[in-house]
């Protein structure tokens, strides 16, 4: 049953074939014979077979005695042959979904027949060596041989990791008959070897938005040479395939109700819409937010405090760390919890300033800046106090204010009232750990019913997985791309005054956050 | 006007475009921008752009300031981009038509805009070095590196000759945006690097019958790297694209009346049919005919006697040689003339035997075989007598009998009476020189009205030219391929008895040739 379903819905398909061998009465050529058999068995029409693959077909057909399973895929403009295998033996076919992040790359090994995720891995983007951020890499790409090098280290590392994945399962590279990659526009350009030069130069245009499906051999990927490689299209230089994949993964474009999607990665990206319309914002306000959320504390990793709850009686924090390891720092979601709890307990005021009378001995001044001791040196893994400085709080306030301002601007721009928002999706690691209650308490996100907040995890990888598996989802990817109205956020006078108003906890207009209850007021 | 016509009908098209340059208000990616402009201006829909070509497009668009002419072509399953050029300057585009003969290769340089044949050249197939005939070359191909070598020498030589052609006209390789090649099935396989191994082994099947259109770079052809290369499809191992091209060139498939097409090349191939049906014969009986026609005397070349007329009064021959040069030998058409004239004048009898009483001193015995002196030593360019031996006559008789038998068999098989034949096309150099009257006189071809005989010259090259220029003709090529019923000629008892009857001049059944009038009977 599962197989039948996959056959109906996939854009990469297995077709079992018992082909009549050639005879004097039927001397149709080998390649034509195969194409004819596929056409007859599948009803998909004519199948393109790359010349270099076609060269191998006569001997393969004979080796398999004309009993084969053909793997075909729907490319950009027609169906193609991706592989042929003997009819007997394991009938499953596999593929790779990839999230090509600027910092981290994540891969999944997927059974295309059953849809099962067989394995998953993540690793640092090797291009970091050539530049920590995208702009540095774009500059690097413009140097002699630079683009080639960026592509090569990426492909080599992908091949290495794909090799490890399949080795763990005793599989051969040839059984991987498809790959779907999602990345921001620049990463997609690097992956395909396209010049990103104009991405960061006015008027900021990519080389390509809609990438044709190409076969793996063209990129030297170590999977089946004629396996399709689908790169999720982008809307523009600052609205990439990773976000399109995230939109797909959220399911927001298949709902009648209006939802918001927020992706806090290197940039902050916001999408609002439903089945009928879709508006996306990205870029401009990103760095403002990034200056806070992304740089605050440490990255999410083992030992990072990611949850904090203040015990009203003892005045002590109950802390949770990633992996349950002794605390070594505070990550984004932990920071939001901490600041929310400090505010609710009255240890900081609505401006985020420490209230010395309430903090007591836990406040310490270092280099003239107030620091709140979250974990004392004897409890931390570092041997030092883990503290939260006044500066870090201000920084978080700027971030949360930027986020709230972007969300307000986007809803106002699209004439959607907060009440109409019926889903709030948060992508990324940050979204996975972030406590929505705390984020509301500090006024980072709107005061919606908590059940409307849905963390998506790596939505780029999730979307790539869906687009790899399903023909409808692959089509939805292009439909999303074509439907999104991309809006450059204008950091103008109005934005700045909204931003100022959002710099209180939870907000200057307290009526926007009725659910936030300080303990003292309780 | 001409240009408009070409634009309507060609499958390789120029599209002049004035593209709006990117701006902050329209930041469509460069490649998408081009594809969109093509779609809008041409109405041909989505255009595939190869990734490696796409990489060059952003800088080309900027170099040409977004004022370009795009060249697009209709490939096997979709439209593709073949090139972009600046809008200003020469607007003509060019292509190459190629006849890939086993012995001789012919090329034409064609203006795709006007349809004009700008230049033409022919040269020996360099693969001759690796094997005089196709079978030897197929064997050579199966040796280590053999196939690669056969392809390389062919492509190298083509590049050399294409280079010469365009140099003569001061053109650049990039202005050649299309190539159409016709060859027999094996030659087409060599050209594309496909293994011909099974072509000559039961059940005699090619690797591919219908070749996808690929771009020139894939074959290392020195024309525009993304120019389409169309190889005329074949019906089977012994019915190649050269014959399909010939059928197209004859126009027989667009006529209501039934025609015959004969191609006397390395094999003798016969096609009969009309708009509604088409039957082709090739292969089996070929060698029988070849043993005569192709090997008799010399190949058609300067100094070859290609026309002969016997003066009834002087008893001397009026001879014509190719190029008007002093005679050095006799080519096929000259031989047919000679034998016809000798028969009509009663110098040979209906069995082809020299009548000594009529020949007199012009007959000489050499090694026990009678030779007729056609040109005496003082008139020949060789310094020797040019003679026609009894053996050569018998050989011609076998050939003409084979040809007539094939034609009879084909018409009988398709239930067509000779009277219904309303066109008789003869391909090849032989057809160009052959005198239909003489061929009828010896009973080689049916006794039809002379105006029905039409020499086509190099019909393979003519067909390739048509298919390169016209979308309808390109489609007709595939339609012909699909419609032809290919029949293997069975050299059985019945064939042999027809063959015996055809071994008289003009035929045992004299009533079949009412127009043949011997002088003595006149």
Using CB atoms, pick whichever of B24, B57, B58 lies closest to residue A202: B24
Using CB atoms, pick whichever of A29, A48, A218 lies closest to residue B205: A29
Q: What angle do CA B134, B140, B145 make, to 5 degrees?
A: 135
Q: Does B78 contact A at CB distance below 8 Å?
A: yes
pLDDT value at residue B286: 43
pLDDT value at residue A402: 86
Nearest CA in chain A to B28: A205
Which residues 5-34 of A are in CB contact (within 8 Å) with B?
22-24, 27-33
pLDDT value at residue B266: 59
Q: Does A78 contact B at CB distance below 8 Å?
A: yes
Please state the φ and ψ torsions of residue B212, each to the nearest 5 degrees.
Answer: -65, 150
For residue B517, what are its two tokens? 């009038």
Q: Does A212 contact B at CB distance below 8 Å?
A: yes
| Chain mean position to CA A426 | 10
How far apart are the CA of B451 and the nearest CA of chain A, in angstroms?
38
CA–CA dist A391, A513 (Å, integer): 25
Q: What is the mean pLDDT of chain A?
A: 91
Q: Does A314 contact B at CB distance below 8 Å?
A: no
Among B39, B59, B200, B208, pick the best mutation site for testing chain A contact (most A Cβ within 10 A).
Answer: B208
Q: Does B204 contact A at CB distance below 8 Å?
A: yes
The H-or-E segment that residue B162 falls in is helix B146-168
CA–CA dist B502, B405 (Å, integer): 7
The H-or-E segment that residue A307 falls in is strand A304-310
Residue B172 burial (C-beta neighbours within 10 Å; 0-12, 13-18, 19+): exposed
For residue B315, what are its two tokens? 């008893």
pLDDT value at residue B186: 97
For residue A43, what are its two tokens? 């009803």
The H-or-E segment that residue B260 falls in is strand B258-264
Domain A251-290+397-458+465-512, CATH number (from 2.40.30, 3.30.420, 1.10.3470, 3.30.70): 3.30.420
pLDDT value at residue A313: 83
How far apart are the CA of B210 and the nearest CA of chain A, in angstroms?
7
How far apart are the CA of B98 and the nearest CA of chain A, in angstroms?
20
Nearest CA in chain B to A194: B55
Identify the residue with better confidence: A343 or B290.
A343
pLDDT value at residue A264: 74
Cis amide bond preceding B203, omega within 30: yes
Q: Does residue A255 register a pLDDT over 90?
A: yes
Using CB atoms, pick whichever of A29, A192, A209 lies closest to residue B28: A209
Nearest CA in chain A to B234: A29
How far apart are the CA of B136 and the nearest CA of chain A, in angstroms?
21
How far apart are the CA of B490 and the nearest CA of chain A, in angstroms?
13
Cβ neighbours, 10 Å, residue B18: 11
Question: B506 near B515, Cβ under 8 Å?
Answer: no
Helix, strand or coil, per DSSP, at residue B25: coil
Q: Does residue B322 register a pLDDT over 90?
A: no
Nearest CA in chain A to B189: A55
Q: Does residue A40 register a pLDDT over 70?
A: yes
Question: B493 near B247, Cβ under 8 Å?
Answer: no
The residue ranges of DSSP E strands in A129-196, in sequence order, are: 176-183
Question: Same CATH fold, A251-290+397-458+465-512 and A94-231?
Answer: yes
pLDDT tens for A347-370 read: 999 999 999 999 999 999 999 999
Please state the φ and ψ torsions of residue B270, each to the nearest 5 degrees.
Answer: -130, 135
ipTM at complex level: 0.89
Q: Cβ A22–B208 below 8 Å, yes or no?
A: no
CA–CA dist A129, A211 (Å, integer): 27
**How is domain B2-86 classified at the architecture level of CATH?**
Roll (3.10)
**Domain spanning B94-231 has what CATH number?**
3.30.420.480
Q: Does A54 contact B at CB distance below 8 Å?
A: yes
pLDDT tens for B141-176 read: 999 999 999 999 999 999 999 999 999 999 999 999
The DSSP secondary-structure symbol of B438 reads H
What's the pTM value of the predicted model, to 2 decimals?
A: 0.90
pLDDT tens for B172-219 read: 999 999 999 999 999 999 999 999 999 999 899 999 999 999 999 999
pLDDT value at residue A6: 43
Using CB atoms, pick whichever of B27, B46, B208 lies closest to residue A32: B208
For residue A126, what are its two tokens? 């090797």
Instruction: Name the class of domain B251-290+397-512.
Output: alpha beta
pLDDT value at residue A289: 47
The DSSP secondary-structure symbol of A22 reads P
Q: Cβ B207–A77 below 8 Å, yes or no?
A: no
Average pLDDT over residues A108-113: 96
Q: How confident is the model at residue B302 (pLDDT cuts 50, 70, 90)?
A: confident
Using CB atoms, pick whichever of B49, B194, B198 lies closest to residue A55: B194
Q: What is the mean pLDDT of chain B?
A: 91
CA–CA dist B329, B327 (Å, integer): 6
Annotated domain spans of chain B = 2-86, 94-231, 251-290+397-512, 299-390
Percent above pLDDT 70 for chain B: 94
Q: Cβ A198–B30 below 8 Å, yes or no?
A: yes
Nearest CA in chain A to B147: A55
Length of chain B: 522
* Range in A229-238, A246-255, B285-294, B305-314 with the lowest mean pLDDT: B285-294
Using CB atoms, pick whichever of B76, B193, B237 lies closest to residue A55: B193
């Amino acid at each position: 049953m599962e197989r039948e379903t996959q056959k109906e819905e996939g854009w990469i398909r297995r077709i079992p074939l018992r082909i009549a061998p050639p005879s004097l009465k039927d001397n149709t050529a080998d390649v034509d014979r195969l194409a004819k058999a596929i056409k007859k068995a599948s009803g998909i029409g004519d199948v393109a077979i790359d010349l270099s693959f076609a060269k191998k077909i006569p001997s393969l057909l004979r080796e398999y005695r004309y009993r084969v399973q053909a793997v075909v895929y729907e490319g950009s403009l027609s169906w193609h042959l991706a592989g042929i295998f003997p009819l007997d033996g394991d009938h499953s076919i596999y593929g790779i979904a990839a999230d090509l992040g600027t910092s981290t790359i994540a891969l999944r090994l997927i059974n295309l027949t059953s849809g099962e995720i067989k394995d998953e891995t993540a690793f640092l983007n090797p291009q970091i060596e050539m530049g920590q951020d995208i702009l540095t890499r774009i500059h690097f790409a413009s140097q002699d041989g630079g683009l080639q090098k960026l592509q090569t280290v990426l492909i080599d590392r992908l091949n290495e990791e794909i090799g490890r994945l399949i080795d763990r399962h005793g599989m051969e590279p040839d059984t991987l008959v498809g790959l779907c990659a999602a990345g921001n526009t620049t990463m997609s350009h690097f992956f395909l070897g396209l010049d990103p030069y104009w991405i960061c130069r006015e008027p900021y245009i990519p080389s390509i938005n809609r990438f044709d499906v190409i076969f793996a051999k063209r990129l030297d990927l170590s999977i089946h040479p004629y396996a399709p490689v689908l790169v999720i299209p982008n809307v523009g230089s600052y609205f990439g395939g990773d976000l399109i994949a995230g939109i797909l993964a959220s399911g927001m474009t298949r709902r009648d109700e209006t939802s918001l999607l927020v992706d806090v990665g290197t940039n902050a990206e916001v999408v609002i819409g439903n089945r009928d319309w879709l508006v996306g914002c990205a870029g401009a306000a990103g760095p403002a937010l990034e200056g806070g959320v992304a740089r605050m504390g440490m990255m999410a990793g083992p030992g990072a405090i990611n949850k904090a709850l203040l015990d009203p009686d003892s005045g002590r924090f109950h802390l949770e760390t990633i992996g349950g390891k002794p605390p070594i720092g505070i990550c984004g979601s932990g920071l939001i919890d901490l600041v929310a709890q400090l505010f609710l307990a009255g240890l900081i005021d609505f401006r985020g300033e420490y209230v010395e009378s309430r903090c007591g001995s836990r406040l310490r001044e270092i280099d003239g800046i107030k620091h709140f001791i979250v974990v004392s040196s004897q409890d931390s893994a570092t041997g030092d106090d883990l503290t939260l400085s006044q500066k870090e709080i201000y920084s978080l306030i700027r971030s949360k204010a930027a986020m709230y301002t972007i969300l307000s601007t986007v809803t106002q721009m699209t004439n959607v009232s907060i009440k109409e928002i019926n889903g709030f999706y948060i992508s990324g690691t940050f979204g996975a750990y972030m406590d929505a209650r705390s984020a509301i308490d500090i006024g980072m996100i709107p005061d919606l019913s908590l059940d409307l907040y849905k963390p998506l995890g790596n939505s780029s990888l999730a979307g790539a997985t869906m687009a790899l598996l399903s023909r409808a989802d692959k089509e939805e990817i292009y439909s999303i791309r074509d439907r999104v109205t991309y809006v450059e956020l204008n950091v103008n006078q109005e934005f700045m005054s909204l931003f100022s108003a959002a710099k209180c906890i939870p907000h200057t207009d307290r009526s926007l956050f009725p659910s936030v209850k300080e303990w003292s007021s309780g």
